[in-house]
Amino acid sequence: MFPIHRPRRLRSHPQLRRMVCENLLTASDLIYPLFAVPGEGIAKEVKSMPGVYQLSVDKIVIEAKEVYDLGIPAIILFGIPDVKDGDATGAWHDCGIVQKATAAVKAAVPDLVVIVDTCLCEYTSHGHCGYLQTGDLTGRVLNDPTLELLKKTAVSQAKAGADIIAPSGMMDGFVGAIRAGLDEAGYQEVPILSYAAKYASAYYGPFRDAAESTPQFGDRRTYQMDPGNAREALKEIELDIAEGADMLMVKPALAYMDIIWRVKEASNLPVAAYNVSGEYSMVKAAALNGWIDEKRVVLETLTGFKRAGADLILTYHAKDAARWLQG
């Protein structure tokens, strides 16, 4: 008679549990989002995201140094311009806020990877991710004209020193258009991290406060994915891979771990999960009320993304998580 297997034998000691741990979270898995604004000496806390700030470029550089010292390998930059217009000029102008922040960070912390969000919603006067048909108040973005703006934006960001271009607008053909634009401009070595499966989610609310990008009318359901769809995500990643994506992202993460798993199983590319603003703010609110143990909940959640298949995790918890992991 064979002895009864007792799984608890491998849980009896902290070091033993560590030895047999299947998914180990480290600071190297994390990417820290930052919001750049014009000016100097600015650190304005986002009311709906405790601990997250809109920062001027000088403050961004200080944050970047801290992030690097914590062992976090990368940041992703979002920009809020002084002036917004229908052509999203602030997104693709060589003196745009993200371009300035990128150049400053690369000069100060050259080994830190700078990812740039390549989208137009923060820069358009209407808050949508591209050109709109004149008089159309439904939020239906004109796809192909928007691709031209995204190409210009990506090239401008690469010129400023961006290490990775991350298009997030969910336009059809956006990866191929950006890849062509980068290659034509001599940036063949700059990779693309595509927001390949980005859902029309209620979890984005606090981000839109931070990025000042709430649509002035309509919504983004004509270009972001329906939360009920899973097979569609695989079609989206298939198209992005064919167009030249180097990495794939699933956004949001917490309610979409099954999508992270499907994408990981369907592709041999690195997979990123975006632990978005609403997910962050729920944890912060509960922790501030004393309802949960913030450290344990955050580390458990981030480990869950790893278990689901994420190679990279974009999270506003990144600095805290890195400190906790050191301790």
Neighbours of 304 (CB within 10 A): 18
Residues paired with residue 275 on neighbouring β-strands, in sequence order: 315
284 is catalytic: no
152 is catalytic: no
Catalytic one among 198, 264, 284, 306?
198
**Residues 125 and 87: beta-carbon distance below 8 Å:** no
Dihedral (C-alpha) 181, 182, 185, 190: value to the nearest 10 degrees? 180
Catalytic one among 106, 251, 264, 319?
251
Rounded CA-CA distance 65/146 in Å is 34
Q: For residue 208, how far is the Cα from the chain centroid?
A: 13
CA atoms within 13 A of residue 250's CA, in its CB half-sphere? 30
Q: Evaluate the omega torsion of the peptide bond into residue 145 and state whether it is cis, within 30 degrees of 0.
A: no
- Name the residue with tokens 């997250």: 52
Q: Hey, which residues are catalytic here?
A: 198, 251
